[in-house]
Amino acid sequence: MKFLQQPPRFLFFTGKGGVGKTSIACATAIHLANPGRRVLLVSTDPASNVGQVFGIGIGNQVTAIPGVANLSALEIDPQAAAQAYRDRIVGPVRGLLPEAVVKGIEEQLSGACTTEIAAFDEFTALLTDSALTADYDHIIFDTAPTGHTIRLLQLPGAWSGFLDEGKGDASCLGPLAGLEKQRSQYKAAVDALADPVRTRLILVARAQQATLREVARTHEELAAIGLSQQYLVINGVLPREEGALDDLAAAILEREQAALAEIPQVLKTLPRDQVALKPFNLVGLDALRQLLVAADRQAIVEEGPPVALDAPSLASLVDLIAADGHGLVMLMGKGGVGKTTLAAAIAVELARRGLPVHLTTSDPAAHLSETLAGSLQNLAVSRIDPHAETDRYRQHVLETKGAKLDAAGRAMLEEDLRSPCTEEIAVFQAFSRIIREAGKKFVVMDTAPTGQTLLLLDATGAYHREVSRQMVDAHMHFTTPMMQLQDPRQTKVLLVTLAETTPVLEAANLQADLRRAGIEPWAWVINNSIAAAHAHSPLLRQRARNELREIEAVATRHAARYAIVPLLKEEPIGVERLRQLSKGN
């Protein structure tokens, strides 16, 4: 494996949910510890399952891994870190400032931005304080800080007064208010991340076009802020010999090889490794030791009869949606789970029933026109351009709030508007314009605003509360976009996931974020299920059995209602193939 050759002291594994970065990080830690090097594995993932992978409890303390000499692990709890961070900022002013002001500060610190920054705050010391890490030759991080977080921390530090005076606009700068004292430490941490002698960043992906597009964007975003020492690991590639055993396996193999042949240009120059798909769950030392070893094909032991899955289909959800005659349908979830395809499938089926539908997306990697591969009566399609909307939003703020500021204040406002949350808010406002159509037709949205954005908007009041105040003052009846999203009679939020551990945990976290913003998800959709596809290949049948635990978790613990969409032999492109997704299993 190229990424294991001459490894530096720090290795960061990053990638979307479900690509296997935790398994690869754990396997790497074992590999590096075997020759006698001392290794610390650190997880900063809110949905961390490092302890589950090793089969032990870890938590927020350095824990030796039984059975692997020289290996220890630590799971940073982002929620606990965020609470400690909030307490550190709010504690000194509680009792000194009016309760309403304290409540406003707490609201600003309630979103996912705070959680990201607090987690970064926790592991910064591991990058910069040599006394804490002197005992280790390598420190491996499962989930690197996002480009979003690093861009935040690179913004100037004089935000507190600027925000208190109301000169800023809706942004994620509130959580930065308590960072000034640590700025030198954060700068040292970011410098360490950008130093190729000390740090290697490993991008983990799957052999899927959507996932490779996502990781290409991650590569460019991180490279733009100085993190250029990157390697690419493509995980879970179906072995070629499986294609001869099953029609579904043959189709998967063909799709994966096509995706690899058309890998985005920006990724072609990166050192690249491939890891074969394994039939077993990557839990326990024996499984992890096999993950990165190229071995001859092993016989797969069948465990029980073929999977016979009796679960609700997407058609059952579409029936309930169609009964309302109109409304907003939002598909939300992490990258690579198939939101674009499912949004198109739902829109196509509603339009086929004679209902007017507007299908829209804000995902730069989404290709709705290619997915539809044609037109359909009753269906209109649009795409919100995030860059154009962000430019429009920035210009509007500068012409309104900026017009009243002096040169220094205007410069600070311009810096505020370079915050990464500005794009999210601009896109949300573009969505808001389209939302109004849902009173007369169906509006199906792909890649809806994240829970982070919704919490931010609800907390700061940049849009929702300002509109509310103006309307109340005018004694007018009104409905803001946030109110519409919170009203289950007008909006149905569908969370999309895969039947794998990390995507399900991430969807559950997103559901918790939405609930804090007053939005209750209407249904979950488990996409690309092998268990629902009736596979015959021994490897795929074993993978199908591995899905059952996650399907059970969604059905019994997470979702009010759910549906399962099978993995299809043919890529669901074009109206007829999209219709297959909603015809049932």
Secondary structure (H, E, C), 25-88: HHHHHHHHHCCCCCEEEEECCCCCCHHHHHCCCCCCCCEECCCCCCEEEEECCHHHHHHHHHHH
3-state secondary structure of 479: coil
Q: Is 23 marked active-site?
A: yes
Q: Is 111 marked active-site?
A: no
Exposed e or buried b per residue across 276-310, where buried means at least 16 C-beta atoms within 10 angstroms of its C-beta: bbbbbbbbebebbeebbeeeeeeebeeeeeebebe
Extract the tokens encoding 35.
């020759």
22, 48, 133, 582: the catalytic one is: 22
Taking the C-alpha atoms of residue 479 and residue 466, their distance in angstroms, rounded to an integer, is 12
Which is nearest to 138 in space by CA: 235, 55, 66, 73? 73
14, 23, 72, 491: the catalytic one is: 23
Extract the tokens encoding 343.
């949004």
16, 21, 401, 492: the catalytic one is: 21
Q: Is 166 marked active-site?
A: no
Extract the tokens encoding 208.
């899927």
* DSSP letter for each residue of 87-114: HHHHGGGBTTB-HHHHHHHHHHTSSHHH
> How many CB atoms within 10 Å of residue 325?
11
Q: Is 77 marked active-site?
A: no
Cβ distance 166 to 401 under 8 Å? no
Taking the C-alpha atoms of residue 343 and residue 329, their distance in angstroms, rounded to an integer, is 9
Taking the C-alpha atoms of residue 11 and residue 28, their distance in angstroms, rounded to an integer, is 9
Taking the C-alpha atoms of residue 71 and residue 202, their distance in angstroms, rounded to an integer, is 20
Cβ distance 48 to 75 under 8 Å? yes
Extract the tokens encoding 146.
């996002």
The answer for residues whose C-beta is within 8 angstroms of residue 291's C-beta and 6 or more apart is 23, 24, 27, 275, 278, 282
45, 121, 142, 363: the catalytic one is: 45
Taking the C-alpha atoms of residue 11 and residue 138, their distance in angstroms, rounded to an integer, is 8
Which is nearest to 72 in space by CA: 86, 58, 83, 85? 58
Q: Is 20 marked active-site?
A: yes
Taking the C-alpha atoms of residue 473 and residue 450, their distance in angstroms, rounded to an integer, is 30
Q: At what angle do helices 99-108 and 451-460 cross, to 10 degrees?
A: 160
Cβ distance 343 to 331 under 8 Å? yes
Taking the C-alpha atoms of residue 430 and residue 237, their distance in angstroms, rounded to an integer, is 38
15, 17, 20, 147: the catalytic one is: 20
Exposed e or buried b per residue across 124-141, where buried means at least 16 C-beta atoms within 10 angstroms of its C-beta: bebbbeeeebeebbbbbb
48, 114, 361, 502: the catalytic one is: 502
Taking the C-alpha atoms of residue 253 and residue 489, their distance in angstroms, rounded to an integer, is 43
| DSSP-assigned beta bridge partners for residue 442 | 327, 357
Extract the tokens encoding 317.
């959800």
Q: Which residues participate in catalysis according to the annotation?
A: 18, 20-23, 45, 502
